[in-house]
Structures are given as structure tokens and as C-alpha cells.
Amino acid sequence: MTSALPAHPADLAVACGAALDDLRTRTPLVQCLTNEVTTNLVANALLAVGASPAMASVPGEAEELAGAAGAVLVNLGTPGPDQRASMGATVAAASGAGVPWVLDPVAVGVLAVRTRLAGHLLAERPAVVRGNASEVRALAGFVSAGRGVDARDDVEAAADAADALARLTGGAVAVSGPVDLVSDARGQVRLAVGDPLLTAVTGAGCALGGLVAAFTAVAPARTAAVAATTALGLAAERAARGARGPASFQVGLVDELYRLTPADLAARVGTAQQVGVPA
């Protein structure tokens, strides 16, 4: 993972385009402990942007792979016994090896088992936390109106919670919604990108978590979160133009991630609203 941060807000767009180019050149291994319902879409999204997915969550094997991976995704969508048994050790192995990891706190604040698990994992300081507004509020200890995997809080209601989590982890927090929010110590970025059909496909959020992890293998947390969010959103906009419904949209989404160029990504990030970032 590179250490340089964009020196000026305008450089964020250039950094995101360069990150996609670097991702496709380096093909980092991204280990995914993820939702078993959405494994196929996550893996295909990673392949489409140039990463190499590994869906390994067997205790003993998972932590061994984490130390050799470029990045790790921990998604709490379906935390079965094997995943629960391996998550803590996998995250510890990644942290010990200096491998960035991403936490996707699915349905945290609604279901007790995963809420406790997320709290323990958070102590290992993920590079990026990616979730919807209700999940981010709950993970930060704020009152949340979530229901299952559905957010009942809007993104702006999670802005303070995102800032608090970013201070706690020292990384970035990406909040998904109609206008996405990325927060870290340097300020907030808002990204008006995406299409409503993303909410009609199982696994779009999980795929985003995987993309964030892939970008953390080649870029700092802030750049990775912005690049991944914009990549998925822009691909969704393009896929929606030719889609007949959710099924064809999902196929088109993977195609458009594959077709995405660094110049496309940089141009769209250039439209982002950045708040609190020093010039």
C-alpha cells in the first residue's frame, strides 16, 4: 500500500485514476470473508477491476492467507460458525503483517451476535469501514433506526458518526446512500454517483466492500474509499442505461466495471464535493 496522500483536494481525482491503473497492473490478492449469498458477485466485481479474489474463511487457513494477501475484506453478512471462528485471527494476522483490511458491518445495531463481533473487530483498526448510514451510526455507538440490512437513517445523519469512527480507527469511513460520504481525518467527501437499481440487486453493497478492499491494496484509505465508491457508482449508471431490470443490470454492472478506465474514474471523482480538506 502506498503512503502518499494527495497534497491538494484537486489531486484526489488524479490519485483515484492512478489507483485503478495500479490495481490492474499489480493484480493484488484480496481475501474475502464475506456474505455467502453474494460471494459470486463480489468475486466477479474484483476480477473486473483487476484484483484476484480469494474466498477463504476456513479457520486455520484464513489467517494464514491473510498474512500474504494484498488486502482483506471482513463482511458480517452471514457470520456462520466458521467465519466467526476465523474473523478475529484473520484480522489480527492481517494487522500483524501490515495488510490493510476493510470492515463491512452488515446489520450491526440490529442483531446482537454480529454487533458484538463488530465491536471486537473494530479494535484492530480497519483501514476502511464501509456501511450504510444506520450501520455506521450503530457501530459508532449512536442510536440507529436500521432494520436488517436496510438503512432507516439518511447519510447526513451518519456524518458525525462517520467522523467519530474515522478518529477511532485512524482510517476512513465510507457511508453508502443516494449521495455517498467518505470521512477521514482530512475531512469529508460527498459523491453523487450511482443508480437506484443498485438497491434492487443482492450484493451491491458487498461488492463495494470488496472493491474498497482491492483499492486499499494499492492506495491510502481515503483514496481507496473514494475510488471504489465512484467506480461502482459510475459503472451502475452506465449499466442502467441498457438494463431491462435487475438481472440484466447486474450483468451490465460487472461489464462496466471491466470497461472502466482510469481517465473515466478520475473525471468523475473530479466532480466530488470535498469539505474540510486543507488546500
Is 203 known as a binding-site position?
yes
Phi-psi group of 187: left, alpha or beta (phi > 0 → left; psi -120 to 50 → alpha; rest → beta): left
Answer yes or no: is 176 a known binding residue.
yes
Paired with 131 in beta bridges are: 175
CA quadruple 219, 222, 226, 229: dihedral sign: positive
d(CA 129, CA 147): 19
Q: Give the span between the Cα atoms of 193 and 16, in whole angstroms.
A: 15
Binding site annotation covers 1? no
CA distances from 34 to 2, 13, 83, 89, 194 (A): 25, 29, 8, 15, 23
**Of the candidates 54, 53, 117, which has an alpha carbon nearest to the alpha carbon of residue 89?**
117
Q: Residues of 145-172 as b/e, b for ≥16 C-beta within 10 angstroms?
A: bbeebebebbbebbbebbbbbbebbebb
Known binding-site residue numbers for ATP: 130, 176
Which residue positions form the known binding site for substrate? 55, 203
| Residues flagged as binding site | 55, 130, 176, 203
